[in-house]
């Protein structure tokens, strides 16, 4: 075999090996799967917490080519590891986990002043928000309220949405990404907490305009919509992390599902419930959804099935579907929970769950940050772990 053919064979073998068809055949009740997953997460996350405890200001980001990669609090994911520790603490009541949850949450505090991007919601609500939910620590209230004020500065009434990014990569005038739907939960909390309706008005205006402009007739969503700052109507609809402008980037679809589910929980507005159900229907019945319900990184990748799964899209979807199942009729709820059970059982097998001390001490393997940018492809990511733990936590309450 000449070298060219050999490298082609190796390349294809590498791709095929990313197709983790690992339907879980674990006969244990789901409750035991959830309990074991929490026990493993507790041990693995303690190792992670110990690894970074003396590296002042650092937080885990990923693990790539055998190397730990960390970030400071500026990275959009800084709140997820502290948030994961809070979920583990909630379910295991381990005092060391509590100590580390507080330590790593404090490392994110400066982001309450973030006004140069929309990610302040992710950073502060996943860390301080969970900490506040569990401890009612008064200090956390101030951090969250300051963060909500910072996020609100990015709202422009002429457009009616919060601006996601300040850079103008593709001639964007006012880029809004579907991910931004996740940041509104902080504003809804701030409105309830402070009594200031302004936060809620911003959140709901953003949610409504996103329904209007971000979704296609089949309820898939664009990644980036850029608005004309004078007319307030979209002038570009594109992708940044997906396969193409018209494709369905998997994590983006899951952000939308999660977003409209909590928007319904918080407002009881039927339009949000309908939107969440429509997105769920699109995803659950998608012809390119694998039978283990761990999505490929983009539903329209031309390389399916020989391309990467995105575990972060699966964990987000699982967590959202558990909540959505509370709001729909029995047969739909059963359908959603069958999907969730398949996802959780699959993710909890060695095909996706790391071994103790391996995988840079992350829990899950095989996520994709940005395939087009060749960044964080087939690696562990903090948010995949975070939404897995949230899903486990929701599941534990339900069963
Ligand atoms: N919010 C960025 C991402 O989902 O990759």
Give the pLDDT score at 195.
98
Give the pLDDT score at 20.
53
Choose the catalytic residue: 26, 179, 208, 269: 179
State in Å: Cα 268 to ligand 1 middle.
27
C-alpha dist (Å) from residue 215 to 219, 224, 266, 309, 323: 5, 11, 22, 23, 22
Residues of the chain with pLDDT under 70: 1-25
The β-bridge relationship of strands 224-227 and 375-379 is unpaired
Strands (E), the chain: 59-64, 67-71, 155-156, 161-162, 175-177, 224-227, 234-238, 367-370, 375-379
Mutate to test the pocket of ligand 1, among 178, 183, 222, 241 (most ligand atoms within 8 A of CB): 241
The torsion of the CA quartet 279, 217, 154, 69, rounded to 10 degrees, works out to 50
Phi, psi for 69 (deg, rounded to 5)? -125, 125
Give the pLDDT score at 19.
52
Protein residue closest via CA to atom 2 of ligand 1: 179
237-256 pLDDT, tens per residue? 999 999 999 999 999 999 99
The β-bridge relationship of strands 161-162 and 175-177 is unpaired
Q: Is 10 helix (H, G, I), strand (E, B) or coil?
A: helix
Verify whether residue 192 is a known catalytic residue: no
State in Å: Cα 240 to ligand 1 middle.
10
Closest CA to 321 of 301, 338, 345: 338
State in Å: Cα 351 to ligand 1 middle.
24
Domains of the chain: 155-238 (no CATH), 250-399 (1.50.10.10)
Closest CA to 281 of 260, 302, 298: 260
Q: Which residues line ligand 1 (CB under 6 A)?
A: 76, 179, 241, 251, 369
Give the pLDDT score at 26.
75
Assessment of whether the complete model's pTM goes beyond 0.85:
yes
Verify whether residue 25 is a known catalytic residue: no
Q: Is 104 helix (H, G, I), strand (E, B) or coil?
A: helix
Give the pLDDT score at 6.
38
Give the pLDDT score at 344.
98
């Amino acid at each position: 075999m000449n070298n060219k053919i050999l490298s082609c064979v190796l390349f294809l073998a590498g791709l095929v090996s990313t197709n983790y068809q690992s339907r879980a055949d674990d006969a244990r009740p789901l409750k035991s799967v959830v309990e074991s997953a929490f026990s493993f997460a507790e041990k693995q996350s303690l190792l992670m917490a110990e690894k970074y405890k003396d590296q002042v200001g650092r937080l885990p980001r990923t693990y790539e080519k055998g190397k730990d990669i960390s970030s400071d609090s500026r990275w959009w994911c800084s709140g997820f590891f502290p948030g994961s520790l809070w979920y583990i603490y909630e379910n295991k009541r381990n005092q060391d986990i509590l100590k580390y949850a507080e330590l790593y949450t404090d490392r994110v505090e400066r982001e309450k002043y973030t006004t140069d991007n929309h990610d302040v919601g992710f950073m502060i609500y996943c860390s301080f928000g969970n900490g506040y939910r569990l401890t009612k620590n008064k200090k956390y209230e101030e951090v969250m309220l300051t963060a909500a004020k910072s996020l609100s500065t990015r709202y422009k009434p002429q457009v009616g949405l919060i601006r996601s990014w300040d850079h103008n990569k593709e001639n964007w005038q006012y880029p809004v990404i579907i991910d931004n739907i996740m940041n509104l939960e902080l504003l809804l909390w701030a409105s309830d907490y402070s009594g200031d309706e302004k936060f809620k008005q911003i959140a709901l205006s953003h949610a409504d305009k996103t329904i209007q402009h971000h979704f296609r007739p089949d309820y898939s969503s664009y990644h980036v919509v850029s608005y004309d700052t004078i007319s307030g109507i979209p002038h570009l609809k594109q992708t940044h992390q997906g396969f193409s402008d018209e494709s369905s980037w998997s994590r983006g679809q899951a952000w939308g599902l999660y977003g409209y589910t909590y928007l319904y929980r918080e407002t009881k507005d039927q339009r949000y419930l309908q939107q969440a159900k429509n997105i769920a229907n699109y995803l659950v019945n998608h012809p390119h959804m694998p039978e283990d319900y761990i999505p490929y990184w983009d539903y329209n990748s031309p390389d399916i099935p020989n391309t990467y799964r995105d575990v972060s899209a699966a964990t987000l979807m699982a967590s959202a579907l558990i909540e959505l199942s509370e709001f729909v009729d029995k047969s739909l709820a059963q359908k959603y929970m069958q999907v969730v059970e398949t996802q959780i059982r699959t993710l909890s097998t060695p095909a996706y769950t790391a071994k103790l001390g391996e995988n840079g001490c992350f829990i899950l393997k095989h996520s994709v940050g940005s395939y087009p940018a060749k960044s964080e492809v087939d690696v562990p990511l903090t948010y995949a772990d975070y939404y897995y733990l949230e899903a486990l936590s929701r599941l534990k309450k339900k069963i």
